[in-house]
């Protein structure tokens, strides 16, 4: 039996993220376009009214269609609530990495069904706002059983699962970082690695230093996980250089970068994943300098970092708007960073674009073009393009 084919026709503006399918720009924009999807895959892209015969046809009209956002950094598996901590910050308290421990306690206390229910609701919230693929980290377990449970929940929601056993040292270790690193690189890794594609570590004062982080990442890489790093979030530090040294797919946050860090990212091909929702919600005095990164030739991605402590948003459009207003990306660069950039950060070739063979994550904007994503902040323009029988 052949799968039903659908033609999305008369699309006002189609953002393909394949330069040669459109105007030659990185976004590969074409107007008055059509896309054919069969069996969940894009099989044809071209001019409106020119598509081959299909089982169904949807007239999209004067709206913008783009690849589903690729949210390459989230922590949606957790228990508890930190709204009071947010309110205190907005009243002037600084953000400290230690707040993570209160979420660890609440996550351990939650049963797996509760964790799954919350994480599923957050992923659904993402999807309603146009996100296709999402990466999900563990990291609020801090013990073998809870890290495993968190990764099981994550694996039920995405292929892009990340083992972040090294988020902070749990209170039970009473500051004995070496003992915790031994667990993270030993028994915990053994249990968690089969459930994960990636290994991540929070390199920061109050979390892990460069040597400890190197141990964590190399242990994960030795069992086949790809590396990604929480780097240079709260202050300058060694995280970015370590990510580049180890050939990590991505260094995430990058709020405090030296010129050397910027050039190391460009030279290593490690993606700089900006999560400006975290800078917003921690009331960071500075945002990442995306302009410096792009000018140096680095690849930039934008993600939500959805988590209860520093960035409790599921909205890629919000991240795009902040990346434009605060990080110096143009609206078009920010849309690329939130789609193709996220895919590069996850080393995925099948998502983040709408070329032939891509997974058919199609997002539609209730707007005539992609510039409206940053131009109309806070307005729910983006959503999934529904199939004809929805």
Site for ligand NIG, rule CB under 6 A: 99-100, 103, 202, 230, 233, 278, 305, 307-310
Q: 99 or 132: whose CB is closer to ligand NIG?
A: 99
> How, if at all, do strands 362-365 and 5-15 pair?
unpaired
Q: 54 or 273: whose CB is closer to ligand NIG?
A: 273
Q: 309 or 331: whose CB is closer to ligand NIG?
A: 309
Please tell me the distance from the alpha carbon of residue 186 to that of residue 172, in angstroms, as a whole number. Answer: 18
Q: 71 or 305: whose CB is closer to Fe ion?
A: 305
Q: 142 or 341: whose CB is closer to ligand NIG?
A: 142
**Residue 160 engages Fe ion in binding (rule: CB under 5 A):** no
Q: 16 or 232: whose CB is closer to ligand NIG?
A: 232
Tell me the two tokens of residue 104: 């660890």
Stretch that binds Fe ion, among 112-120, 297-305, 330-338, 352-360 (CB under 5 A): 297-305
CB of 76 to Fe ion, least distance (A): 11
CB of 230 to ligand NIG, least distance (A): 5
Q: 48 or 207: whose CB is closer to ligand NIG?
A: 207
DSSP string, 154-175: HHTT-S-EEEEEESS--GGGTT
Q: Name all contacts of 2-6 with Cβ < 8 Å and 24+ positions apart.
A: 2/38, 3/38, 3/39, 3/40, 4/38, 4/55, 4/56, 5/36, 5/37, 5/38, 5/43, 5/54, 5/55, 5/56, 6/36, 6/37, 6/38, 6/54, 6/55, 6/56, 6/57, 6/58, 6/387, 6/388
CB of 343 to ligand NIG, least distance (A): 20
CB of 197 to Fe ion, least distance (A): 16
CA 13 to chain centroid: 25
Block residue for tokens 């242990």: 219
CB of 281 to ligand NIG, least distance (A): 9
Phi, psi of 43 (to 5 degrees): -115, -10
Q: What is each CA distance from 170 to 70, 135, 198, 275, 299, in whole angstroms?
A: 31, 23, 21, 24, 34
**Residue 333 engages Fe ion in binding (rule: CB under 5 A):** no
**SS3 label, residue 249:** coil
**Residue 204 engages Fe ion in binding (rule: CB under 5 A):** no
CB of 204 to ligand NIG, least distance (A): 7
Contact 26, 33 (CB under 8 A): no
CB of 110 to ligand NIG, least distance (A): 15
**Residue 305 engages Fe ion in binding (rule: CB under 5 A):** yes
Stretch that binds Fe ion, among 62-70, 217-225, 241-249, 304-312 (CB under 5 A): 304-312
Which residue is closest to ligand NIG by CB? 309
Stretch that binds Fe ion, among 51-59, 299-307, 322-330, 345-353 (CB under 5 A): 299-307
| Crossing angle of the two packed helices 177-185 and 210-222, in degrees rounded to 10 | 10
Q: By the criterion CB under 5 A, which residues form the site for Fe ion?
A: 305
């Amino acid at each position: 039996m052949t799968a039903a084919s659908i033609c999305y026709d008369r699309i006002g503006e189609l953002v393909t993220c394949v330069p040669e399918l459109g105007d030659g720009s990185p976004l590969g924009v074409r107007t008055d376009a059509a896309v054919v999807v069969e069996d969940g895959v894009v099989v044809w892209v071209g001019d409106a009214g020119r598509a081959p015969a299909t089982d169904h046809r949807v007239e999209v009209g004067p709206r913008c269609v783009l690849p589903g956002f690729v949210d390459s950094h989230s922590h949606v598996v957790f228990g508890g609530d930190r709204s009071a901590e947010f309110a205190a910050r907005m009243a002037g308290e600084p953000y400290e990495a230690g707040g993570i421990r209160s979420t660890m306690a609440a996550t351990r206390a939650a049963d797996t069904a509760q964790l799954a229910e919350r994480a599923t609701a957050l992923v659904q919230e993402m999807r309603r706002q146009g996100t296709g693929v999402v990466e999900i980290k563990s990291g609020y377990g801090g013990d073998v059983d809870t890290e495993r449970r968190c990764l099981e929940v994550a694996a039920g929601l995405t292929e892009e699962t990340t083992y972040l056993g090294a988020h902070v040292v749990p209170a039970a270790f009473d500051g004995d970082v070496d003992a915790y690193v031994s667990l993270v690189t030993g028994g915990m890794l053994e249990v968690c690695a089969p459930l994960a594609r990636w290994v991540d570590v929070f390199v920061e004062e109050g979390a892990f230093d460069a040597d400890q982080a190197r141990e964590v990442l190399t242990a994960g890489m030795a069992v086949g996980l790809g590396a990604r790093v929480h780097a240079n979030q709260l202050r300058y530090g060694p995280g970015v250089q370590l990510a580049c040294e180890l050939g990590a797919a991505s260094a995430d946050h990058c709020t405090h970068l030296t010129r050397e860090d910027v050039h190391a990212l460009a030279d290593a091909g490690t993606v700089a994943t900006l999560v400006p929702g975290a800078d917003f919600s921690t009331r960071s005095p500075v945002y990442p300098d995306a302009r410096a990164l792009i000018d140096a030739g680095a690849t930039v991605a934008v993600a939500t970092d959805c988590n209860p402590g520093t960035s409790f948003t599921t909205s890629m459009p919000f991240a795009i708007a902040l990346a434009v207003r605060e990080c110096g990306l143009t609206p078009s660069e920010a849309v690329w960073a939130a789609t193709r950039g996220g895919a590069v950060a996850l080393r995925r070739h099948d998502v983040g674009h709408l070329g032939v063979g891509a997974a058919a994550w199609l997002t539609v904007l209730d707007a005539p073009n992609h510039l409206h994503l940053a131009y109309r902040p806070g307005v729910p323009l983006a959503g999934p393009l529904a199939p004809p029988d929805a």
